[in-house]
Amino acid sequence: MPIIKALMIQLLSCLCIIPLVVLFPSQTIPAWILLQAILAAVISHYTKMAYWWIPMQLMFLPAIAVALTLKISPMWFGVCFFLLFLVYGKTFKTQVPLYLSSSEVTKALASLLPRKKNFTFIDLGCGCGGLLSTLHALRGNGNFYGIEAAPIPFLIGKARTLFNKANCNIQWGDLWKQDLAHYDVVYAYLSPVPMPTLWEKVCQEMQPGSLFISNTFAVPGIAPEKIIRLNDFSGSALYIWRI
Ligand SMILES: C[S@@+](CC[C@H](N)C(=O)[O-])C[C@H]1O[C@@H](n2cnc3c(N)ncnc32)[C@H](O)[C@@H]1O
């Protein structure tokens, strides 16, 4: 798991610095912190950690040092940690953090859904349910489902869709336990990590003629039937496969 590797690199960098601190006691603490941060970033680079880990590794010890100088009550760190855990706690395992589809994505998705015919749609990892509740408002002929593993986004989504239970329903759970055979359209906005396994699940379970749509993350080696590129803040692209 990258998070364990990142922690090991932080500890290793600290261990490398300790003999230098003993040998050169006149150096200041900020200088040692800076050296440890650079060392952690360099080791992360050479041990082939994903590029987004490099700035995080660089910032780790300096951020702790700065936070300590602010003399904030430890209780606030506990509260923030708990809240973040309820949003991102499973990310270390799923490798899929929370970030939300843009309104351009929602509009493009709505244009792909039937206008009159009934259909079923699921958002795998539906976050706070924003995409589902907007699509539900735009396409009343659809039955919308969402599955979300993180407790706080799930509760927000549940509250949002409380009064539309009949055709917009969000569950707390694991997307890997959903049977995709029940849905005409399956939408996923996850990360590069689960895409190969998700594609296997899609091929095993989805019905012929149904649609699988992935926002931003393609399935390696599998050409989509269509790609819709959007001009939103993250340059999203919708990859569409008809099963
Ligand atoms: C990038 S967000 C997308 C949110 C929403 N679908 C949207 O488009 O705005 C991905 C979400 O998937 C959830 N997730 C990741 N792995 C999951 C799993 N195995 N089961 C259920 N939800 C999962 C994460 O908690 C996160 O909220």
pLDDT at position 81 is 94
Residue located via tokens 């493009």? 108
In this structure, the number of other CB atoms found within 10 A of the CB of residue 37 comes to 20
Residues 6 or more apart from 104 whose CB is under 8 A from it? 230, 231, 232, 236
pLDDT at position 233 is 86
Q: For 90-115, how does the pLDDT look when each residue is reduced to its tens digit (9 = 90+)?
A: 888 888 999 999 999 999 999 999 99
Residue of 133, 129, 128, 132 whose CA lies nearest to 86: 128
Name the residue at shortest CA distance from atom 25 of ligand 1.
150
For residue 144, pLDDT beyond 80: yes
Averaged pLDDT score across all residues of the chain: 93
Binning pLDDT at 50, 70 and 90, where does residue 190 land?
A: very high
Average pLDDT over residues 64-70: 91
Number of H helices, E strands in the chain: 9, 7
Question: For the chain, what percent of residues have pLDDT higher than 90?
Answer: 79
Distance from C-alpha of 61 to C-alpha of 63, rounded to nearest angstrom: 5
Average pLDDT over residues 37-55: 94
Average pLDDT over residues 17-26: 86
Ligand 1 pocket test target in 85, 86, 91, 96 with most atoms within 8 Å of CB? 96
Identify any residues that bridge with 124 across adjacent strands, giving them in sequence order.
147, 188
pLDDT at position 71 is 87
Kindly give the distance from the C-alpha atom of residue 88 to the centroid of ligand 1, in angstroms, as a whole number. Answer: 10
Distance from C-alpha of 224 to C-alpha of 135, rounded to nearest angstrom: 23
pLDDT at position 165 is 66
Average pLDDT over residues 28-47: 94
* Burial label, 118 (beta-carbon count in 10 A; 0-12, 13-18, 19+): exposed
Name the residue at shortest CA distance from atom 6 of ligand 1.
126
Phi and psi at residue 188, to the nearest 5°: -135, 135
Q: Are 240 and 228 in contact (CB under 8 A)?
A: yes
What does the block give as tokens for 173?
């759970």
Atom of ligand 1 nearest to the CA of 175: 20
Ligand 1 pocket test target in 190, 191, 195 with most atoms within 8 Å of CB? 190
CATH of domain 103-242: 3.40.50.150
Average pLDDT over residues 196-211: 97
Range 195-203, long-range pairs (CB < 8 A, 24+ positions): 195/219, 195/220, 196/220, 198/124, 201/176, 202/241, 202/243, 203/243
Name the residue at shortest CA distance from atom 12 of ligand 1.
125
Ligand 1 contact via 129 beta carbon (within 6 Å):
no
What residue ranges do the domains of the chain occupy? 2-71, 103-242
- The full length of the chain comes to 243
Atom of ligand 1 nearest to the CA of 90: 25
Residues 6 or more apart from 70 whose CB is under 8 A from it? none
Name the residue at shortest CA distance from atom 9 of ligand 1.
100
pLDDT at position 191 is 93
Name the residue at shortest CA distance from atom 8 of ligand 1.
101
What type of residue sits at position 176? Answer: W
Ligand 1 contact via 99 beta carbon (within 6 Å):
yes
